[in-house]
Chain A
Amino acid sequence: MTAVKLIAREEWRMLARNRSGLIATGLLVLLILVAGFTSLESRSAIEADRTRYQASVDETFDAQPDRHPHRMVHYGQFLFRPIAPLAFFDAGVNSFTGNTIFLEGHRQNSANFAEARQSSLLLRFGQLTPAFILQTLAPLLLIFLAFASVAREKERATLKLLLAQGIGGRSLIAGKMLGHGAIALAVGLPAFALLLGFAATGAADWATVGVMIIAYACWLLLWAFASVIISALVARPRDALAILMGLWMITIILLPRALPEAASAQNQLATKIETEIALHRDLLKIGDSHDPDDPYFNDFRDEVLDRYGVRTVEELPVQYAGLVAIEGERLTTQIYADAAQRQAAREREQNAFVHTFSVLSPLIAIRQLSMTLAGSDPAAHQDFLDQSEAFRYEFVQRLNRMQAELLPEIGGEDPRISAAYWQEVPRFSYSPFNPLADRTRIIWPLLVLAGWLAALCVLALFAARRIGGVAR
């Protein structure tokens, strides 16, 4: 057996005889499992709720009586955002984004009833998901298991004894890293098994789960390696513990909280009110369909009359108001879309600012990666908003066309079209977001994690040389 393996095995034996280490590891594994199952259960409960709500609002839409189509434009449709299957593993921003959106004509409503707005401040302590445990608590466990790994040998002078047996500094560090790396992966194992089991049932695809496992493996290895290396660089276990705790606190607790403040101070988001007022102003700039002298709508009318080859609005085979509604919806949607894109771009800029600091705090990289893969990141939410907006435009325009085409035949004081038409109005069908579609969002954080591991390996070589130097 090589020296490296011998040292790794000795490390395992030592830890196996360390009662408190075993208890802590057991508790963490238990916590991962508890978090996994409760989160899975609550995800399915929420998902079932939303499916039920969606079905019931769709049903009530169909059950509406004969009406003027424009009334249905404002009766609108409610959408409930389905939760991605892997969101049980990492809830990401799901609790912070609204999950219900009301769609109607010429308005873009906000997604409402975000869980975070309805919870006490307790939510800000974190959410019990496997991702929270792996990201926040597992590094602490790995620190506790490994902080003394080399420093202990130094303090008790067994290091000199080992080196005197002809074991090189590199073998020693490699052995310790092997030992603690294996433990780190073992700690992640229950979570990985949960993910694989989930993929096996077909609820998530293998590629996503595979990348997720690789990402968390890198993350856990990173902390095991860092603990061993710091332990090798300092003289006493206490110092290693203090330094590692400091690193943990700064990279996992402090930076992720402090950076967003910097990001939002740099680049402020406009309030909904300001956006609405600006939109309203932009719309008025284009034209006012109620104003008989409005140049834009006069041009529009002339163009319509030309198209139908008639001279007056009254001669049109379709309802002119309906055509104006279609045109109005087209215009407002465009302006809304521009504003929404600007807002989304600004949010992306803010996030990108935070993401650049993943070089300093790898937590940011793993968090981003994890929620991207789980389909619970802002991009997945934005995708839902985009899909719902596309759907809104389609269903509103369908109703507007009904108004233009069907109403002239009905006529009368209070023209209504048959309720049977409501069933023709399209229903929202959500096409699940593919997290792997945009590779850059996966590759960069993975590279950051890999970069951290590579940097640690270089540092390990340095530590090995220093340790070897002690013997000479």
Chain B
Amino acid sequence: MNHSHSLWRAEASLLLRSNRNVLALILLLVLSAASVWSGIVQVQDQRATIERVEREQVRDLAAVEEANAGPEGEAGYNAYYAFMLTQDPPPPLAFAAIGQRDLQPYVLRVRALGLQSQLYDSETYNPELALPGVFDWAFVLIYLLPLVVIALGHDLVTAEREGGRLRLLLSLPGNGLWRRRVGLRYTAVLLAIGLPLIIGAMIMAAPAVSIATMILIAALYSAFWFGLAMLIGGATRASTTAAATMIGCWIILTLILPTLAQAVIARAVPVAKGVDLTLAQREVVHHGWDVPKEETFARFFVNHPEWRGQEEFEGRFHWKWYYAMHQVGDEAVAADVSAYRDSLKKRETMTKLLGYVLPGVGTMNVLHRMADTDIQGQLAYQDSIAAFHTKLRQFYYPYFFEEQAFDHSDFAMIPRYEPRSSGGTPPTEALAALAFLSLLVLALGSRRLLNAGREQGGR
């Protein structure tokens, strides 16, 4: 016990005496800390933005109420001018994996008009800043950690041979040399990537179990790269060759294959339905003005039979007809909407499948699903907006159809959006696939390393 303890200590001091290793580990620690810090700043910015927007919204709604609500107030005008705010606050883990939150809207205002012409509006973002991708903990883990593992692990055997020490090391009666060395590097890497995350999680009060799962994912992903380092390091004779081969693997796994796959997926699953449904919805809504009003009502009553018999009105215009027409527009494109969403989900599914083979992509998928900052999170936000929109319409219908006045007390009763409960759970199959792949490569790598030690000792 005592003996092995001192051996670990000796190995640790050996590891830390090498400038290259120390530099690589410090770099990883600094980058991990910087990325967590940057993630926290971004999350806090988003929270501040939501608060700012909420304050503006209160003022805006007050102005709408002032202008439109009252004893003579018409519900139609109120529904027309009162944009209701929906917000999607950053989930607890978003600081570690910001995902698409820099592009996707996290505040959106909707009113009781057709939802489909409001739901896909873009939020302002600077495309050139978005282009290179976000700098967050997930990025440091997926892209940069492998390079640190390569720096620490590519020459485990080759450096010993090049230094003339390999046969001497192998001639010693002790055992577990490689296990200790790899284990130590692995632990050091995990500490460097994980500590900032844990501190960040404490600052952001993120749930401990989720953070532990994220560390587990980092551990699996690092295991993959250490396994690969052993596999390649054990099969090559020169450190430079080992380094070059490993960097080649890194390029193929994190740069070339994902971009190729992205191109294939983009071609295989077109998402033009988004445009189609927008165009179709516009046609239906505007066509509504040119067709007999009974026709619009007939289509409206299919899903809203409770208002049947209350469609009569005098004159050319009535709010109940106007809002019914918008609703009919939404309902007319329901098939297009689901086709559009299916195409987005299909792209997600294909990426998920790719993640079963490419550990970088797999790690990305699992992390962002846990953080709930991927497309699926955005779709869930859209779902909650749609549910709220329904609630909003249902609230107004009695006022339209029963021609009630819309007073201040009514205005106060307009439903407000409740943020969805966000935070994804780790997808088990994807996590299992990552674990399988990583442990397989780790096992193959350790076997290769042990054999390499033996074979090369014999030479």
Direct interface between A and B, CB < 8 A: yes
Q: Point out residues on A near B: beta carbons under 8 Å.
A: 20, 24, 31, 38-39, 42, 45, 49, 53, 57, 60, 64-65, 67, 71, 74-76, 78, 92-93, 96-98, 100, 102, 109-128, 132, 136-137, 140, 144, 148, 237-238, 241-242, 245, 249, 253-254, 256-258, 260-261, 263-265, 268-278, 280-281, 284, 343, 347, 350-351, 354, 377-378, 381, 413-414
Question: Is B123 in contact with chain A by the CB < 8 A criterion?
Answer: yes
Question: Is B295 in contact with chain A by the CB < 8 A criterion?
Answer: no
Indicate if the CB atoms of A122 and B126 lie closer than 8 Å: no
Residues A381 and B239 in contact in the complex (CB < 8 Å), given A127-B259, A273-B85: no
Q: Inside 8 A of A256's CB, which chain B residues have their CB?
A: 132
Closest 4 pairs between A and B when the two form their complex, measured CB to CB: A260-B129, A125-B258, A96-B127, A120-B351
Indicate if the CB atoms of A261 and B38 lie closer than 8 Å: yes
Question: Is B131 in contact with chain A by the CB < 8 A criterion?
Answer: yes
Name the contact of B127 in the complex, choosing from A74, A276, A378 (C-beta under 8 A).
Answer: A378
- Closest residue on chain B to residue A270 by CB atoms: B124
Report the bound CA distance from A60 to B280 in whole Å.
Answer: 11
Indicate if the CB atoms of B278 and A102 lie closer than 8 Å: yes
Indicate if the CB atoms of B120 and A127 lie closer than 8 Å: no
Closest chain B CB from A361 CB (angstroms): 11
Residues A119 and B266 in contact in the complex (CB < 8 Å), given A57-B279, A241-B240: yes
Beta-carbon contacts under 8 Å, B234-263 to A: 239-240, 243-244, 247-248, 251, 254-256, 258-263
Name the contact of B123 in the complex, choosing from A124, A272, A351 (C-beta under 8 A).
Answer: A272
Name the contact of B135 in the complex, choosing from A102, A125, A237, A258 (C-beta under 8 A).
Answer: A258
Question: Is B165 in contact with chain A by the CB < 8 A criterion?
Answer: no
Name, among A67, A273, A276, the residue most crowded by chain B CB atoms within 10 Å (CB to CB): A273
Number of B residues near A (Cβ < 8 Å) is: 92
With A20-B244, A260-B129 given, name 14 new contacts (CB 8 A). A78-B282, A98-B122, A110-B121, A110-B122, A112-B121, A118-B375, A119-B265, A120-B347, A121-B365, A125-B255, A126-B262, A128-B259, A260-B132, A274-B56
Closest chain B CB from A402 CB (angstroms): 17
Report the bound CA distance from A98 to B123 in whole Å.
Answer: 11
Question: Is B57 in contact with chain A by the CB < 8 A criterion?
Answer: yes
- Closest residue on chain B to residue A39 by CB atoms: B263
Indicate if the CB atoms of A351 and B122 lie closer than 8 Å: no
Q: Inside 8 A of B356's CB, which chain A residues have their CB?
A: none
Beta-carbon contacts under 8 Å, B51-89 to A: 52-53, 56-57, 59-60, 63, 83, 85
Closest chain B CB from A381 CB (angstroms): 7
Residues A273 and B57 in contact in the complex (CB < 8 Å), given A114-B122, A245-B247, A378-B127: yes
Question: Is B177 in contact with chain A by the CB < 8 A criterion?
Answer: no
* Chain B 268-312 per-residue mask, 1 if CB under 8 angstroms from chain A, else 0: 000110110011001100100110000000000000000000000
Report the bound CA distance from A277 to B121 in whole Å.
Answer: 16
Question: Is B411 in contact with chain A by the CB < 8 A criterion?
Answer: no
Report the bound CA distance from A117 to B252 in whole Å.
Answer: 25
Closest chain B CB from A468 CB (angstroms): 26
Name the contact of A271 in the complex, choosing from B31, B107, B261 (C-beta under 8 A).
Answer: B107
Residues of B contacting A: mostly: helix
Name the contact of A111 in the complex, choosing from B83, B122, B351, B361 (C-beta under 8 A).
Answer: B122
Indicate if the CB atoms of A117 and B104 lie closer than 8 Å: yes
Report the bound CA distance from A281 to B57 in whole Å.
Answer: 12
21 A-B pairs whose Cβ atoms sit less than 8 Å apart in the complex: A24-B248, A65-B290, A67-B289, A112-B274, A113-B275, A121-B99, A126-B258, A237-B240, A249-B144, A254-B135, A258-B34, A260-B128, A268-B45, A269-B124, A269-B125, A270-B124, A272-B123, A273-B57, A273-B108, A343-B124, A378-B128
Report the bound CA distance from A264 to B134 in whole Å.
Answer: 11
Indicate if the CB atoms of A97 and B282 lie closer than 8 Å: no
Report the bound CA distance from A394 to B434 in whole Å.
Answer: 57
Report the bound CA distance from A445 to B286 in whole Å.
Answer: 49
Q: Inside 8 A of A237's CB, which chain B residues have their CB?
A: 240
Residues A78 and B279 in contact in the complex (CB < 8 Å), given A148-B240, A354-B128: yes
Indicate if the CB atoms of B348 and A120 lie closer than 8 Å: yes
Residues A120 and B130 in contact in the complex (CB < 8 Å), given A261-B38, A268-B45: no
* Chain B 364-376 per-residue mask, 1 if CB under 8 angstroms from chain A, else 0: 1100100000110
Question: Is B20 in contact with chain A by the CB < 8 A criterion?
Answer: yes
Question: Is B147 in contact with chain A by the CB < 8 A criterion?
Answer: yes
Question: Is B187 in contact with chain A by the CB < 8 A criterion?
Answer: no
Indicate if the CB atoms of B262 and A127 lie closer than 8 Å: yes
Report the bound CA distance from A272 to B243 in whole Å.
Answer: 48
Residues A242 and B20 in contact in the complex (CB < 8 Å), given A93-B128, A119-B347, A254-B144: yes
- Closest residue on chain B to residue A72 by CB atoms: B286
Question: Is B26 in contact with chain A by the CB < 8 A criterion?
Answer: no
Name the contact of A119 in the complex, choosing from B45, B126, B262, B316 (C-beta under 8 A).
Answer: B262
Beta-carbon contacts under 8 Å, B78-124 to A: 83, 85, 99-100, 103-105, 107-109, 117, 120-124
Q: Inside 8 A of B128's CB, which chain A residues have their CB?
A: 93, 260, 347, 350-351, 354, 377-378
Report the bound CA distance from A100 to B364 in whole Å.
Answer: 30
Report the bound CA distance from A413 to B120 in whole Å.
Answer: 36
Indicate if the CB atoms of A271 and B123 lie closer than 8 Å: yes
Indicate if the CB atoms of A128 and B278 lie closer than 8 Å: no
Closest chain A CB from B328 CB (angstroms): 17
Question: Is B354 in contact with chain A by the CB < 8 A criterion?
Answer: yes
Q: Inside 8 A of A242's CB, which chain B residues have their CB?
A: 20, 151, 243
Question: Is B139 in contact with chain A by the CB < 8 A criterion?
Answer: yes
Indicate if the CB atoms of A144 and B244 lie closer than 8 Å: yes
Q: Inside 8 A of B41's CB, which chain A residues have their CB?
A: 261, 265
Indicate if the CB atoms of A347 and B126 lie closer than 8 Å: yes
Name the contact of B265 in the complex, choosing from A120, A272, A284 (C-beta under 8 A).
Answer: A120
Question: Is B267 in contact with chain A by the CB < 8 A criterion?
Answer: yes
Name the contact of A238 in the complex, choosing from B243, B260, B347, B351 (C-beta under 8 A).
Answer: B243
Closest chain B CB from A236 CB (angstroms): 9
Indicate if the CB atoms of A253 and B135 lie closer than 8 Å: no
Question: Is B427 in contact with chain A by the CB < 8 A criterion?
Answer: no
Indicate if the CB atoms of A96 and B130 lie closer than 8 Å: yes
Indicate if the CB atoms of B247 and A42 lie closer than 8 Å: no
